[in-house]
């Protein structure tokens, strides 16, 4: 796991505090307190919830971001990190992730963003955060394979299970653009791990790629010592 010194440089100077305040206010205005406790229990979260459903959270966050679009990568990263690090409710961290996928943010993406994603994955340390962040890592891989691929190969060997999971599922939906070698290394590095989330990720990644190349997935599953869970998930939709 990373130490604090390895996280992205963060002065907070470029953070859009008005956007952060607006997002927080919008979330509080949409809160349904009766939902908060069940949501926290379902997610097994130490961080409390406001009681804002994910589709509502995304709509509100995107609306506020549209009014104050990011203009530099420093604005984007500092705002996301400040909202994430200072979050008092889980929906605020969901909102930080949503900010990464606004139209303005997509135009500002570059390989340096991967370091921020790494922090969010490791400090978030749960599937609801990680699965969304893995998609963002996949977006970076598609755009800058030469720069991002070596870092993701490093994630396959990480002591952190969420980074390993991210390396496995970051190519979901890539179809014929899938880096088969990277996917193979990510799975083979983790296939003897007994962790449920790792085994589920392996099956999920293989099931997704089976839509593109079912015979490759069948052959892979038959020639590797996959866990029963991973194998079942991988072959779920194959005849």
Do 131 and 22 belong together in one domain? no
pLDDT at residue 1 tops 60: no
| 118 belongs to a structural domain | no
Establish if 117 belongs to a structural domain. Answer: no
- pLDDT of 37: 97
Indicate if 86 and 165 belong to the same structural domain: no
Q: Are residues 181 and 209 in the same domain?
A: yes
Pair (143, 190) in one structural domain: yes
Structural domain total, the chain: 2
CATH number, domain containing residue 47:
1.25.10.90
| Domain-located, residue 65 | yes
Residue range 184-213, pLDDT digits in tens: 999 999 999 999 999 999 999 999 999 999
| Residue 16 included in any domain | yes
Asked if residue 140 and residue 199 are part of one domain, the reply reads yes
pTM of the model: 0.92
Predicted pLDDT of residue 14: 87
Residue-wise pLDDT for 89-131, tens only, equals 999 999 999 999 999 999 999 999 999 999 999 999 999 999 9
Residue of higher predicted confidence among 239 and 15: 15
**Is 140 a member of any domain?**
yes
With respect to residue 114, please indicate whether it lies within any of the assigned structural domains: no
19-77 pLDDT, tens per residue? 999 999 999 999 999 999 999 999 999 999 999 999 999 999 999 999 999 999 999 99
165 and 198 inside one domain: yes
186 is a domain residue: yes
Q: Give the 3-state secondary structure of the chain.
A: CCCHHHCCCCCCCCCCHHHHHHHHHHHHHCCCHHHHHHHHHHHCCCCCCCCCCHHHHHHHHHHHHHHCCCCCHHHHHHHHHHHHHCCCCHHHHHHHHHHCCCHHHHHHCCCCHHHHHHHHHHHHCCHHHHHHHHHHHHHHHHHCHHHHHHHHHHHHCCCCHHHHHHHHHCCCCCHHHCCHHHHHHHHHHHCCCCCHHHHHHHHHHHHHHCCCCHHHHHHHHHHCCCCHHHHHHHCCCCC
pLDDT digits (tens, 9 = 90+) for 143-161: 999 999 999 999 999 999 9
Structural domain boundaries, residue 39: 1-108
């Amino acid at each position: 796991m990373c130490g604090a010194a390895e996280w992205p440089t963060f002065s907070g100077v470029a953070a859009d505090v008005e956007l952060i305040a607006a997002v927080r206010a919008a979330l509080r205005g949409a809160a349904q307190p009766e939902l908060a406790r069940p949501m926290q229990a379902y997610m097994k979260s130490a961080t409390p919830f406001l009681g804002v459903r994910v589709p509502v959270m995304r709509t509100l966050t995107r609306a506020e971001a549209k009014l104050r679009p990011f203009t530099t990568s420093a604005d984007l990263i500092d705002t996301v990190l400040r909202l994430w690090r200072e979050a008092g409710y889980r929906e605020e961290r969901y909102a930080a992730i949503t900010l990464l996928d606004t139209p303005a943010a997509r135009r500002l993406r570059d390989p340096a963003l991967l370091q921020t994603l790494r922090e969010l994955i490791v400090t978030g340390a749960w599937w609801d955060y990680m699965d969304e962040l893995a998609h963002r890592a996949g977006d970076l891989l598609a755009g800058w394979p030469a720069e991002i691929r070596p870092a993701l190969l490093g994630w396959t060997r990480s002591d952190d299970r969420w980074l390993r999971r991210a390396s496995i599922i970051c190519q979901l939906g890539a179809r014929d653009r899938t880096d088969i070698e990277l996917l193979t290394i990510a799975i083979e590095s983790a296939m003897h791990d007994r962790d449920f989330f790792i085994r589920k990720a392996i099956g999920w990644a293989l099931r997704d790629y089976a839509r593109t190349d079912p015979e490759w997935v069948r052959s892979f599953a038959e020639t590797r010592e996959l866990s029963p869970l991973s194998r079942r998930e991988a072959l779920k939709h194959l005849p």
